Amino acid sequence: MKVHHCKEKFEADHLGGMKLDASHYDVLLGGDEPCDIYKPDGEPLVKYRPGWFSEELCRSVIPSCRRAAKVTDQRGMAAGDLTKAKLREKDQAIEGPASKVLLRAIKRDGTVSNTSRGGMVNSGIIGYFDRSARYPYCRQTSFVIAEAASWKRFLPYIVRADEGFKEFMPERYTVQKDYSSRTPKDWVIEESVFTTVTVNKNFQTAAHKDAGDLKQGFGVMSCLRNDKYSGAYLVFPAYRVAVDYGHGSLCLADVHEWHSNTPFEKMKIGYERITLVFYYREKMINCNTAKEEVEMVKNSRRGAIKR
C-alpha cells in the first residue's frame, strides 16, 4: 500500500467554483493500488481502497444510480462558477468565495434564498433529508418513494460503504454512530450511520467544500465506472495531490477541504462514471419521528404551530 505524506498546504480559496486540471496536482495515486494520504499535520486526507465493492454489488446498483442521477441545477458551487451565466428573472447574482458569482433565487417575500443555483448536471439525492425553508419538515427524498425497488437495491451497497467507514476511520465512525443512534430510525439508512446519499453521473465537479454533512464525520465515497474514458481524477489542490478512482473503489476523504475533478479525457461513446457520496446530514439530529413530523405539517397547515 502506498502512503503519502503531504509536505505543505497551499492557499486554495481562490479556486472555489473553478474546474481544475492537471496543473493543480503534482502527485497522482489510486487506481489499482490502495493508498493513505496524510496532511502535513498528520491528519488523514484520503484513504483509498480499490475493489472494496464486489462486482455483483456494483452491477446490482448501477441501474438504480442511473435513475437517481437526474438533470438538476441545484448543485451550487460544485457545478462551477456562473460568472457568465444568464440570469433568470427570479435569480440574483451575489459574490461568493474569491469573487466567484453565485446565483440565488429570490423568494416570494423578496428575500434571497440560501440555496445557490448552479449549472445543469446529472446528480440526485436519495435517502432522507432534514428541514428546509421550502420543506419545513424531515422527509424521505422523492427517490425513496417513487423508486422503492431501486432504493431497496441500494441498501446492500450502502451497508458495504458503512463497513469500510468503520474499518478505516473508526474514531470518526464512532462519532457519527453516536449522532445516528440519537436520530429517529425513520431517518437513518438501515444498518448504517448514513442518512443520505448523493449520486453523480459524468459530473466534473468544480472546486468546492461539502456542506450540510456532519463535520465530525468523514467523507465516504465510491465510484462505478467503465473503461471508455480517462482522467476525471479527484484532486485536492491545497495539497497538490489527486486520486484516480477505480471501479468498485471506496474513497474516504476530508471533503471539507477544497476538492474537484479534473476533466474527462479520451471519452468514447457510452463512457460512464458514477460516484456516490454517503453522509449524515448534521441537522437530522433535530428531526422528530416520521409520525411526529407528519403531525407537525398538519398543524402547520391549520396555522396551529406556536412560534
What value does the mean pLDDT take over residues 116-137?
82
Q: How many helices (H) and strands (E) does the chain have?
A: 5, 19
Taking the C-alpha atoms of residue 99 and residue 16, their distance in angstroms, rounded to an integer, is: 9
Given CA atoms 67, 73, 74, 80 in this order, what sign does their dihedral have? positive
Taking the C-alpha atoms of residue 91 and residue 43, their distance in angstroms, rounded to an integer, is: 40
- For 213, which DSSP code? B
pTM, full prediction: 0.86
Per residue in 254-271, pLDDT (tens digit) is: 999 999 999 999 999 999
**Who contacts 154 (Cβ-Cβ below 8 Å, separation ≥6)?**
61, 64, 126, 197
Using the structure block, give the residue that is written with the C-alpha cell 473503489: 249
All structural domains of the chain, each given as residue ranges with its CATH number in brackets, are 2-76+123-301 (3.60.130.30), 81-117 (no CATH)
Q: What's residue 134's pLDDT?
A: 79
Q: What's residue 86's pLDDT?
A: 42
**Who contacts 193 (Cβ-Cβ below 8 Å, separation ≥6)?**
162, 165, 173, 176, 177, 179, 180, 217, 280
Query: Does the pLDDT at position 36 exceed 70?
Result: yes
Q: At what angle do helices 148-168 and 55-68 cross, to 10 degrees?
A: 120
Confidence of residue 297 (pLDDT cuts 50, 70, 90): confident
The answer to which of 106-115, 174-183, 235-244 has the lowest mean pLDDT is 106-115
More confident residue, 295 or 217: 217
Total residues belonging to the chain:
307
